Chains A and B, each alone.
Chain A
């Protein structure tokens, strides 16, 4: 079965027609809407490269059916800097060399933004790192990403 979906991506309505029932949000974003900043990784929910925010919550777009998120506010890497926190995370990743090949970077920046917003300013370092374990990076060794997180939190990296 296929049908129309009224998506809202980065604050902008993005209607799509003839979307199959089993189409993944990842594929809708990348191939239907041309939002290729969201990266395709494992497609099994294990690597985090495809992370987006759905109503502010970190969500694996590879395991989300497009029809499920009709009407929800979807934030991708292309829109993450519309928000002050997202903008700070994005610049912290650059400042701290928290990216190398860059393939995990969009998902990581979105995930850090979502996790910091969700856990709030009093969260422990351990709880934040624990929440980020679903995002894999093979280049940086994660320490630069940890420093970027600390930079955003205003602590010492």
Chain B
């Protein structure tokens, strides 16, 4: 089945955020803070206001007149006192042309008394923060959980293996930058934007502006790649404020340099492991994490308490202590990036797992099989493990590794990584089904971001649920003012949650049709040349006969909703902070084969295989697309992608020449295997697949590099420089 957006997109007909325009619109440009940290003395807009073409200039001082109560005090549109990161927007101007707006923005005089910025968390905490960390400067979250007698386990161990890993920031690099177009008329705030979550933007922007969510209408466009970057309000509040101030439609769009400088994404971390081993198995682990959260971290406890759980791996470890610190720095705020922070955590824990196996002289896959969760096991926080395909995936990977050892040339390094992720999430969603004699329409809130979860995933669920062909099913979307609520396209939850909502609405439709047809048995739909038939027992009636005249035109309507649930954790193991239960236990095992140039340290990935615990595959083509795409993105995280920051808070590589993403000539042949049968909470037992493919990539590549060279690189990405340095230490 060819995805339904392919024809439109392949002839250039899809309209994205950057394509938005409307007659009479102004162009808005943001004024960046000139330093990374400091106290604002003044923001002088007078010269900008006098510049040609300028209609309005707005800073913190103007917000009180434009917004109820001046907007949200804790998250102001523009800061009035403190600069938190370089390029933080401190004001904005709107002018008739983009060139005029840019020129005027440069005339805004921003006077800041600079303070020394904090950029590197290890500068502030060269040693580990103390137990009083919540009161320590910069620490904005502290999480701690433990179980069992760690000291005793360490004393009785045959050895305790200690390692420290470091990871760096990565950028989204969605091909389409952020862009939106806002209008404010008669008390209605309206913004068209490229977003993964129209309702999320509505709630978020309304909160920032201090207006009721119902007074804001968010309308999505096609989304040119999200990966987490378009999951919350970003440019929308600025555009809305400028529209309110000018009384004109205002377009605000970022260029790539803006994207790099202000991306809210994964930032660096330091991860320390101490693992006790006795009789060939792990008996205890202490794991600690310092996470750079930039200027702020929405749900920072969630990120710290969630991420740190992955550092124990999906493994049985009876005694543990895990402790995490979120530390504020003068960088843009931390934000979600496809499987937020998981590729980094899994790189660290899976590298460490390999180190343990090597020290013991045990085959790395065998060592994982000794510890990996099976269904019915308990997680560290004592949640019962649900259906989990990790063992099956590891066993398949074993076969591939054996085959590659025989066939690939000597000197090839082969590495495995086991990623674990909690997919499907509890985030809820609703759909409205409209059934006419000719077609089934799925009305919902989301716009396709690329993965296919909307244009193909929802159709695949309806196809399978109703037993009707895809060409009789259509998915539509509408603005937040009329669309059924949905949480957003994120968290590997979209096709799952909205798919379950389709099933719920479908149950209602079929129940209604059964009652109308007078059938004694449950009914189903069948697609006939003259339209749908309602079939039940011996009864076979055209759907049209069961509908009113209006329903034949507008459809028989049923709504469905799905709000997921997770298991429970044992909170007595939590000492401080928030930890969360998992939803679907989802495994991803990947195998990389690499060649390492011992002179230059350059790593070439020559073969790749990915084994994914998908529950039920809703569409094998979409499975392949998600896995191949995630692996390629992960190869960037593994090998080249890294944000570099100067001591003054300047990002040093804000462009594609210096921040290298993979190209078409750098992707290895990749085998994709769907492991089915370990059912999740999605429709027909499907598990989410948007995020898992990126998770094990850096781990698999790093372990392959160690297999090839005998040295371990303990910091991402594995650039030639880092690999060469490690080789020199041999």
Report which B residues bind A (CB closer than 8 A): 2-3, 5-16, 18-19, 21, 172-176, 222-227, 255-256, 448-452, 621-622, 624-625, 628-633, 655-657, 661-665, 667, 669-670
Contacts and interface: CB of A to CB of B under 8 A. Distances in A.
Nearest to B7: A94
A151 interface: no
Contacts of A31: 21
Closest 4 CB pairs of A and B: A37-B12, A101-B450, A103-B224, A141-B632
B655 A42 contact: yes
B358 to A, nearest CB: 30
Contact of A129 (B174, B622, B664): B664
A49 B657 CA distance: 15
Nearest to A90: B10
Interface string A137-151: 111111111100000
Interface in A102-117: 102-106, 109
Given A44-B655, A133-B663, A141-B632, A102 B9 contact: yes
Contact of B11 (A37, A42, A137, A146): A37
B454 to A, nearest CB: 12
A46 interface: yes
B655 A136 contact: no
Nearest to B664: A142
Q: Is the interface of B mostly helix, strand, loop or mixed?
A: loop
B224 A101 contact: yes
A129 B655 CA distance: 22
Interface residues of A, number: 52
Nearest to B226: A101
A18 interface: no
A141 B630 contact: yes
A97 interface: yes
Q: Is the interface of A mostly helix, strand, loop or mixed?
A: loop
Given A78-B11, A137-B175, A101 B667 contact: no
5 contacts: A44-B656, A47-B256, A103-B174, A129-B665, A139-B451
Contacts of A38: 12
A65 to B, nearest CB: 16
Given A36-B19, A97-B625, A139-B450, A90 B222 contact: no
Contacts of A99: 6, 9-10
Contacts of B661: 136, 138
Contacts of B12: 36-39, 76-78, 105-106
Contacts of B663: 132-134, 136, 142
A138 B6 contact: no
A100 B452 contact: yes
A5 interface: no
A103 B194 CA distance: 12
Q: Which of A36, A91, A95, A141 has the most CB of B within 10 A?
A: A141
Given A41-B256, A97-B622, 6 more contacts: A37-B12, A81-B11, A90-B11, A101-B449, A133-B665, A138-B661
Contacts of A36: 12, 15, 19
Given A94-B2, A141-B670, A102 B222 contact: yes
B566 to A, nearest CB: 29
Contact of A138 (B2, B225, B657): B225
Contact of B225 (A109, A129, A139): A139
